[in-house]
Amino acid sequence: EVQLVESGGGLVQPGGSLRLSCAASGFTFSSHWMSWVRQAPGKGLEWVANIQQDGSGKYYVDSVKGRFTTSRDNAKNSMYLQMNSLRAEDTALYYCAREQTGMGFDQWGQGTLVTVSS
């Protein structure tokens, strides 16, 4: 069974940092692009970043460029999102999602909540 489990969310002050993790199991993690997608409270879905199978390619939405960095460790079947200089508008539930070639986001975790507030 495919599982994606996010962790690392919490309450942080504006300007602070957090590192999110996504632990994958039940599939060949190293064969897939992986993405972070967030959802602000009561709002829609926003793609944040993704990372290529070997970690060589990384892409970001403009609003997080220069502040967020995604990485992965295929030996640990894990993906990470380092979030720096956090702003109130980064408050959201952060999902990790598996990209399936030719399809879209076919597997999702349950999300981890990030709250940026003083």
Residues that bind another protein (CB under 8 A): 35, 44-47, 50, 59-62, 95, 102-106, 108-111
Q: Which amino acid is at 36?
A: W
User: CB of 102: closest distance to another protein in angstroms?
Assistant: 7
Q: What's the rounded Cα separation, in Å, for the pair 71 and 8?
A: 15
Least Å from the CB of residue 104 to another protein: 4
Q: Are 15 and 116 in contact (CB under 8 A)?
A: no
CB closer to another protein, 7 vs 13: 7
Q: How far is the CB of 16 from another protein (least distance, A)?
A: 24
HSE-up of residue 33 (Cα within 13 Å, Cβ side): 18
